[in-house]
Amino acid sequence: MIKALTIDLWETIIKDVDATEKDRDVKRAHYIIEKLGLKSNATEQIMNFFKDLNEAFKHPSKENYWSILPENQLKKLFKEYLHISVNEKEFKDILDYYENVILEVPPKLTEEIVKEVLQKLSNVYTLVLISNTGRSPGRVLLKIMETYGVKDCFKYFVFSDEIGARKPDPVVFEIAQNLLNLPKNEIVHIGDSLNLDFLGAKNYGFNAILYANGMDVIPVEPFIRSFSELDEVLNEKFS
């Protein structure tokens, strides 16, 4: 019997609509250049850093451990890409903008029904949010979730910047299981990524459902194309 659901955040509950992370990176680059009085050609170096950062996100490893925390991301940017020193006040101001600029043009819910579905599910199951974070830490993402009325649907939150690990690292799912204090077969993970979510959860021993919204070819089962299908799939596959 399923007693808990662990659910991914990005591209499952929220997604970018009015802006992309690249748009926010342009804002971050402009802020850094203005704050530190750098020449405009520093933009290219900063944007190259963001490209490398995105690649690091795709390949979690000890070598890419620097990418987990925003402050470590900035330290690498200043030292290895801009080759500059930044005083404590400048660093703090830049970090604050770097983390919070997402609130200026926030992501939206993936579907209008997400809030309603999560509220109903929370009356039946214990919900845990599991999210890899990037430039913005978990505490900022919680503000976005609160704006859309979905934060209170979850009992626990597992953010990569807070635990020092990213999906599909089994440690992420282990932490969620320890919070729930349930056997693996009583937990289902839902997320949009085949590797990070579906296979990551299955390899750890959780049940899994792929959120396949917008996918043309769906390589695994079970899956849902919409949150409106989730209750039916849970009952059909795991009851």
Q: Where are the beta strands (DSSP E) in 106-159?
A: 108-109, 126-131, 156-159
- With contact defined as beta carbons under 8 Å apart, do 193 and 8 qualify? yes
Task: State pLDDT tens for residues 147-175.
Answer: 999 999 999 999 999 999 999 999 999 99
Share of the chain above pLDDT 70, in %: 100
- With contact defined as beta carbons under 8 Å apart, do 174 and 201 qualify? no
Share of the chain above pLDDT 90, in %: 94
Location of structure tokens 């949010």: 129
pLDDT at 37: 96
Q: Where are the beta strands (DSSP E) in 95-182?
A: 108-109, 126-131, 156-159
pLDDT at 60: 84
CA triplet 107, 70, 74: central angle to 5 degrees? 120
- Local confidence band at 46 (pLDDT 50, 70, 90 cut-offs): very high
- Local confidence band at 214 (pLDDT 50, 70, 90 cut-offs): confident
Distance CA 232, CA 238 (A): 10
- The mean of the pLDDT values for the chain is 96
Task: State pLDDT tens for residues 107-142.
Answer: 999 999 999 999 999 999 999 999 999 999 999 999
- Local confidence band at 18 (pLDDT 50, 70, 90 cut-offs): confident
- With contact defined as beta carbons under 8 Å apart, do 190 and 7 qualify? yes
Distance CA 67, CA 191 (A): 22
Task: State pLDDT tens for residues 31-44.
Answer: 999 999 999 889 99
pLDDT at 115: 98
pLDDT at 161: 97
